[in-house]
Amino acid sequence: MLYGIVRRGAILAYKIWYRVSFEGVENIPDPKDGTFVVACNHRSYADPVLLSLKIKRPCCFMAKEELFKNPLFSALIRFFGAFPVRRGAGDDGIIDTAVGKLKEGKNLAIFPEGSRSKDGKVGRGKTGVALIAARAGVPVLPVGIAYEGKLHFGTKVTVRYGKPISPEQLKISETPHPRELKMLKLTIMDAITELVEK
């Protein structure tokens, strides 16, 4: 209930502050159908909130461990679903944690590019998003956040939700070849790029 209240308040605030509009909301999976991975381009610190505004089930996010050092900020981002990821801890541990969040009934939001884009263009992305979704057996919802220049008061922002990529499209072998994961990653990144450049 608290999440719903905060989400509705955030929608109102962001619509006023950034002039946010939404497209493709009908593509967001129904919470009754289970969890999913949200894969979105990354441009600003506002992205986690922007992509979540129309998603009814709370999303959790991977965040670098350093962001949790400040107790107040740590409490804030944990409230919004962030969990710490230790750099260099190994891909398997991160993948297992992410899959565990999905199995617990939480959506997982990932920025496949790994860092914020400086020019607004969608980067190449990493294969982790495909591996997590495939192992968890859940769909991927591509999301594109588009606006001109830098984000500031009055910026016109469009958040576009694409058609989900089904678990059947994301199936991989038990020991996937890197080329297999690369192809799935390209499918996801192409979907995001199309939404951003629409």
> How close are the terminal C-alpha atoms of the chain, in Å?
34
Is the pLDDT at 192 greater than 90, yes or no? yes
- Taking only the tens place, the pLDDT of each residue in 62-115 is 877 887 888 887 776 777 778 887 765 556 778 888 899 999 999 999 999 988
- Taking only the tens place, the pLDDT of each residue in 16-65 is 899 999 999 999 999 999 999 999 999 998 898 899 999 988 889 887 78
Beta strand 157-161 with 107-110 is unpaired
Ordered DSSP codes for 53-109 = TT-SS-EEEEEEGGGGSSHHHHHHHHHTTEEEE-TTS-HHHHHHHHHHHHHTT-EEE
What residues are paired with 84 via a beta bridge?
Answer: 63
The residue among 67 and 187 whose pLDDT is bigger is 187
Per-residue confidence at 118, pLDDT binned at 50, 70, 90? confident
Domain boundaries, the chain: 2-197
pLDDT value of residue 68? 84
Q: Which two tokens stand for residue 70?
A: 């400040």
Superfamily of domain 2-197: Glycerol-3-phosphate (1)-acyltransferase (3.40.1130.10)
Instruction: Kindly state the average pLDDT of the residues 146-168.
Output: 94
